[in-house]
Structure 1
Amino acid sequence: MADISAEPDVPNEIETDYEIGQDNITTQIGPVGVDIHNPVFLISGLSIVAFVFLTLTFQEGAAEIFNGMRNWLTATFDWFFLSAANLFVLFCLALVVLPWGNVRLGGPDATPDFSYPGWFAMLFAAGMGIGLMFYGVSEPISHFSSAMGGTAAEGGARTDWAPLGAAAGDAETATSLGMAATIFHWGLHPWAIYAVVALALALFSYNKGLPLTIRSAFYPILGDRVWGWWGHIIDTLAVFATLFGLATSLGFGAEQANAGLEFLFGIPNGDMSKVLLILAITAVATVSVLAGLDGGVKRLSELNMGLAFLLLVFVFLVGSPIFLLTTFADSLVSYVSYLPALSNPFGREDVNFSQGWTAFYWAWWISWSPFVGMFIARVSRGRTVREFVICVLLIPSMVCVLWMTVFGGTAIAQVQAGMTDVADAALELRLFVMLSELPLAGITSFIGIVLVIVFFVTSSDSGSLVIDTITAGGKVDAPMPQRVFWCIFEGLVAIALLLGGGLASLQAMAVSTGFPFTIVLLALMVAIAIGLRDERRGVC
């Protein structure tokens, strides 16, 4: 992952009416130089502390509340999540063809900070994470199994694929459906969500000279009120969404790492083991925070990207290369073919898929969007809007498709060859079961555990930076103790959710915080349109 700790390189000559009133949104306190955006930091910080305390104190009641909340939101508002995600894709495609696409992030004379290979590599880094490790095998197998008329072990109860014209028991169709449904969740829609947030942050920071925080994008709509309580609410929602979205990923990582340690070394897979694992990894992430971006997360990210690439190549070569190449091409065709039915928000019969999978995914991506969006914005100065949108949508999407095809396709080939263990295993265990059928299983499984743990560390480190940037009013050089605070509480929130209901609770909080932030993203599209219109007109 690239270094995103430096201040945005905004030209000094950019002075606009957008900057009026922004000087009063941070507060410096005490000799330690605590530099906080007072209402946002205090409200979000105290709320998170209270959440952790109450969830750990009333675990059984919390689990019941979380499960009920998730089921109600996904059942009631699945159409809302699907419709919003469709709008994000259409908005991004419109920017590609409209004259607004000629606007350059940073101004007409701005030049890209990174070459194409370097920029693509960083977009690739943004697309990799705990989610790909957790779902790379488990999701394609879940959809394949349900399309075959069977039942997947965890979270993949039989899905009614009739709206997509599936014939139960047809392995070829089931493979196409399984991969198309997986690509749907990891392709254009999530990256359009990230692109909207990233574009808003980049446009209003680089072109308008505003702080690098979500509230800045709403200046065209709210005016100076963004520096008041309207802005406080927007940034607080961004903090909650980012923190719980990150905690969801950290919880998934803990589940999978613990499952892998049990599978490989016989270490018990229980709540105590998961808590100790999260505490240990959070401690490492805290050390990484103290070491700084260059000494900590940057080196860990480079290590992880190298290991991930080696594991990808290894699975491709020793698996079924011809089958995987064919599956990759067929999956893209199937994705395009099934996309209208998969993205249809109304009249769905496949409620397990639309509510249990898609609605959760879109809420999860939306809750992650401030985190990933800020990263993408920091590395994209100097690109035109058209260039930005095309690359942000296509480059990471293709990486995700490649990863899912190699890992998920290999698992599907194993099932078709009669190796049914991977389909019967729990979601968090499927990666290791798939690897156990390949050569050097002990080594590759250990590498898989290392990847999950290091993704855990880098996500926690980078996530604490993003949250601290928001709570410091857009500053990215806030004092170290604040980042340490958020790093520690990210781990504590993940522990609280795991003990308060496990994976269902993790998903519940991602959906619950993603729902209100979806409204924020819908309004962001309006703000971006106004900002781009003003840029084209030369209006400050």
Structure 2
Amino acid sequence: MTSPIADFKPTVFFGAIAAIGLLIAFALFDTSAAATRFQAIQSWATHNFSWLLVGTVNILLVACGYLAFSRLGHVRLGGPDAKPAYSALSWFSMLFSAGMGIGLLFYGVAEPVMHFANPPISAFSDPGATLPRGLARNAQHAMGLTFLHWGLHAWAVYAIIGLGLGYVSYNKRLPLSIGSFLQAAFPRIPTLLVDLIDVLAITATVCGVAASLGFGASQINAGLQLLAGVPDSGMVKAIIIVVITGLATLSVALGLDVGIKRLSEANMLLALGLALFVFLLGPTVYLLDSFIQNIGYYVQRFVYFSTWTESYTNEDWQSAWTLFYYAWWISWSPFVGIFIARISYGRSVREFIAGVLLVPSLFTFAWMTIFGDSALHIELFGAGGLSQAVSASMPDALFAFLGHYPFSQIASGLAIVIVATFFVTSADSGALVTAMIASGGHHEARFVPRVTWAISIGILAGALLYAGGLGALQTAAIVTGLPFAIVLLGICFGLVKMLQHEVVKADHAKRQE
């Protein structure tokens, strides 16, 4: 392997720094009009390119099915004799902490309740919503939409890019980078275009992770306000981002095996502890029934959910939800894809698809059922009031929900710790990956670039949160996710082509023996 200094790509590094600097300057210029400006950009992007986002995630999911069930599924990352570098438990913990993280805590209660209270009228709401049966239907629709946003489509995005990058790195012995994949799959692609795509990948990664950090800072602030009376203000959020970014910088400095791996495993244990608390002290039997029914409803409505685009209505519901999620997953994909590839040596294509696509989706469905359906149970059969609390402040949703449980202060404190640890793993994993891209795909990027990117992510998150709040974070994810959707389609096509070539070559070699 070449030295990290030799692999340093100044065009990519300084190009990405310049792009992120421009984003920060744009966010901080005329902050009084920032929220309106960000909303206008988001509306334009989602109105004109919803077809691209919806089409991309569906194509990637179909490709995952083809790779898993065809002969291509036998190809192994690293060659036929490669053995997995990490145990299944460590592998799942790291890919899940990197892939979802803060979002599960932020949206686990808020999203189902929001969909229940304010469903998209054209497709899912019930005219008799004031009646018990109508409310029950809206609750079912709410969980179906939540499963759509957090299920197979999100993980298909990660699976395709992670598999493609892992294949060229471990089987073609090329640097672990998007540029290396594109040059292997499309040998005639201009070098300048490859560098521009790497710049886009870094910018998308930083924006996607910054969005998560902004959500996390808002939620930690809400929890501290509840527990300790800390004011909900931009200054407090900025301090939270500085502190957590410092911890992320320390974690990324320690490296993958010492910092990120151990913190990811701790994340999972803490998150499972909170979920078990809600499951056992909440409506347990109701949750078990709901989990089965939610999956059935998701499967029954899968094609309709997956291809619904609001084309026959004048609504703009999807821009704030479905399209934002798709763009968010896509903007995270360079970061999560490279990170998953980095930890997936020795996995077969079929094992990779099953592990990355199915296991995290089922875990996410269980998590959303435990928190979402417990919240809906309070709305349908209990004291109610969560709809009003969530509408007033989404960051407060989890803590308002936990207030209905015994030991709520302890549970809320644990939730703050979990958000903080997910905050750190998202930031340190993102910093590690962006450093790898900027260094030409070197697996052990240098200390200074890793720290540089950790700090950059924190600064961008703070600037966007200060300038336009949560809306600015959404806009940044969508604007960077849109162009990268085209790159993902190219990666999907190139991956299938290369795997088919390898299988044909292997068949030819067997016939020659």
Q: TM-score, normalised by structure 2?
A: 0.92
Cα RMSD over matched residues? 2.2
Render the CA deviation track for 1:156-179: whole Å, top value 9, x for unaligned: xxx215368785341321221111
Could you tell which deviates more after superposition, 411-420 or 329-338? 411-420
Could you tell which deviates more after superposition, 345-354 or 363-372? 345-354
1:470-489 equivalent positions in 2, closer than 5 A: 470-489=437-456
Specify whether residues 321 and 130 from structure 1 end up closer, same or farther in structure 2 by C-alpha distance, changes over 3 A only: same
Return the match for 2:83 from 111, 115, 120.
111
Q: Shift in Å at residue 124 of structure 1? A: 4.0
- Corresponding position: 1:146 with 2:118: yes
**Aligned residue in 2 for 1:367:** 331
Specify whether residues 397 and 491 from structure 1 end up closer, same or farther in structure 2 by C-alpha distance, changes over 3 A only: same
Could you tell which deviates more after superposition, 249-258 or 368-377? 368-377
Specify whether residues 372 and 416 from structure 1 end up closer, same or farther in structure 2 by C-alpha distance, changes over 3 A only: same
Partners of 1:51 and 1:163 lie apart in 2 by 37
Partners of 2:433 and 2:387 lie apart in 1 by 37
Q: Shift in Å at residue 96 of structure 1? A: 2.0
2:121 counterpart letter in structure 1: D
- Corresponding position: 1:176 with 2:140: yes
Q: Shift in Å at residue 359 of structure 1? A: 0.5
Partners of 1:81 and 1:472 lie apart in 2 by 29
Q: Shift in Å at residue 117 of structure 1? A: 4.5
Total equivalences in the alignment: 500
**Aligned residue in 1 for 2:193:** 230
Q: TM-score, normalised by structure 1?
A: 0.88
Specify whether residues 47 and 162 from structure 1 end up closer, same or farther in structure 2 by C-alpha distance, changes over 3 A only: closer
Q: Shift in Å at residue 415 of structure 1? A: 0.9
2:399 counterpart letter in structure 1: F
**Aligned residue in 2 for 1:162:** 123
2:259 counterpart letter in structure 1: G
1:168 counterpart letter in structure 2: A
- Corresponding position: 1:137 with 2:98: no
**Aligned residue in 1 for 2:248:** 285
Render the CA deviation track for 1:334-383: whole Å, top value 9, x for unaligned: 10112222112443548444322111000000000111112221222222
Say whether the 8 Å CA contact 1:80–1:345 is kept in structure 2: no
Partners of 2:410 and 2:307 lie apart in 1 by 43
- Corresponding position: 1:338 with 2:305: no
2:225 counterpart letter in structure 1: E
1:469 counterpart letter in structure 2: M
Q: Shift in Å at residue 220 of structure 1? A: 4.3
2:129 counterpart letter in structure 1: A
1:472 counterpart letter in structure 2: S
Specify whether residues 115 and 494 from structure 1 end up closer, same or farther in structure 2 by C-alpha distance, changes over 3 A only: closer
Partners of 2:434 and 2:31 lie apart in 1 by 26
Gaps of 5+ in 2: none
**Aligned residue in 2 for 1:440:** 407
2:123 counterpart letter in structure 1: A
1:393-404 equivalent positions in 2, closer than 5 A: 393-404=357-368
- Corresponding position: 1:195 with 2:186: no
- Corresponding position: 1:36 with 2:3: no
Specify whether residues 58 and 353 from structure 1 end up closer, same or farther in structure 2 by C-alpha distance, changes over 3 A only: closer
**Aligned residue in 1 for 2:476:** 509
**Aligned residue in 2 for 1:258:** 221
Q: Shift in Å at residue 89 of structure 1? A: 0.9
Render the CA deviation track for 1:12-53: whole Å, top value 9, x for unaligned: xxxxxxxxxxx89x755xxxxxx6211000111122234324
**Aligned residue in 2 for 1:453:** 420
Say whether the 8 Å CA contact 2:42–2:319 is kept in structure 1: no
Render the CA deviation track for 1:120-153: whole Å, top value 9, x for unaligned: 4444444541000100000111112224xxxxxx
Partners of 1:194 and 1:538 lie apart in 2 by 27
Return the match for 1:210 from 174, 195, 200.
174
- Corresponding position: 1:465 with 2:432: yes
Return the match for 2:318 from 338, 343, 354.
354
Specify whether residues 454 and 92 from structure 1 end up closer, same or farther in structure 2 by C-alpha distance, changes over 3 A only: same
Say whether the 8 Å CA contact 1:286–1:488 is kept in structure 2: yes
Partners of 1:376 and 1:260 lie apart in 2 by 31
Gaps of 5+ in 1: 1-6, 8-22, 29-34, 148-158
Render the CA deviation track for 1:486-523: whole Å, top value 9, x for unaligned: 11111100011011110110000000000000000011
Give the secondary-structure state (helix, strand or coil) at the position aligned to 1:437. Answer: coil
Give the secondary-structure state (helix, strand or coil) at the position aligned to 2:118. Answer: helix
**Aligned residue in 2 for 1:272:** 235
**Aligned residue in 1 for 2:394:** 427
1:52 counterpart letter in structure 2: I
